[in-house]
């Protein structure tokens, strides 16, 4: 009986002590969760170098199997092969162009394309088209057909297009420049 009375008397104190313990232990745990590692510019730079290196290897392996392609590489990393070359005026900034195209991954998965009777048009350097396509089309004349290998930094980058183009993906674009306006 003595012990039961003692427990009744001490119960509020025990509950209070346990509550304080839980409260302060949770606070110290939450402080630990706030301490996040700092991501540095050097780490970002290293990540970009690794991604670029890996993409470059992927592109070189792809082209090794297509040695008959007469590919040029621009300073940005775009690879371009004009396989039907028509002499004429090249597309330039602010031209409106009609094109037919297929966009594929290097594993040959078709992502987007125009149909045989369909044309897509855009204004050179003034549209939301991939910057690699904008760069490549300025090497082309009306009637040319080309294959462009576009590294992710000239395509859809780290995010993809949120539909069919995955993040950090090299694109193969087969493009016919039908008309320049």
Q: Cβ contacts of residue 169 below 8 Å, gap of 6+?
A: 105, 152, 155, 156, 160
> In this structure, what token pair is assigned to residue 26?
């949770």
User: In terms of Cα–Cα distance, which of 95, 101, 179 is closest to 133?
Assistant: 101
- If we measure between CA atoms, which residue out of 172, 176, 175 comes closest to residue 65? 172
Q: Mapping DSSP to helix (H, G, I), strand (E, B) and coil, where does residue 22 land?
A: helix
Q: What is the sign of the dihedral through the CA atoms of 152, 154, 157 and 161?
A: negative
pLDDT tens, N- to C-terminus, the chain (181 residues):
555 565 565 566 666 577 667 666 655 555 555 677 899 999 999 998 999 999 999 999 999 999 999 999 999 999 999 999 999 889 999 999 999 999 999 999 999 999 989 999 999 999 999 999 999 999 999 999 999 999 999 999 999 999 999 999 999 999 999 999 9
**Strand 171-180 with 120-123, pairing:** unpaired
Residue 38, classed as helix, strand or coil, is coil
Domains, the chain, in order of start with CATH, read 70-180 (3.10.50.40)
């Amino acid at each position: 009986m003595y012990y039961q009375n003692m427990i009744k008397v001490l119960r509020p104190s025990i509950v209070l002590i346990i509550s304080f313990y839980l409260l302060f232990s949770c606070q110290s745990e939450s402080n630990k969760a706030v301490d996040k590692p700092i991501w540095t510019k050097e780490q970002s730079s290293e990540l970009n170098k690794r991604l670029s290196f890996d993409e470059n290897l992927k592109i070189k392996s792809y082209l090794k199997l297509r040695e008959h392609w007469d590919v040029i590489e621009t300073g940005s990393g775009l690879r371009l092969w004009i396989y039907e070359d028509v002499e004429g005026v090249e597309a330039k900034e602010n031209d409106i162009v009609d094109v037919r195209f297929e966009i594929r991954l290097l594993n040959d998965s078709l992502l987007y394309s125009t149909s045989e009777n369909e044309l897509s048009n855009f204004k050179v350097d003034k549209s939301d088209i991939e910057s690699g396509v904008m760069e490549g089309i300025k090497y082309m004349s009306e009637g040319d057909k080309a294959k462009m290998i576009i590294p992710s930094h000239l395509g859809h980058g780290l995010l993809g297009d949120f539909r069919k183009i995955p993040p950090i993906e090299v694109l193969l674009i087969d493009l016919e420049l039908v008309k320049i306006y």
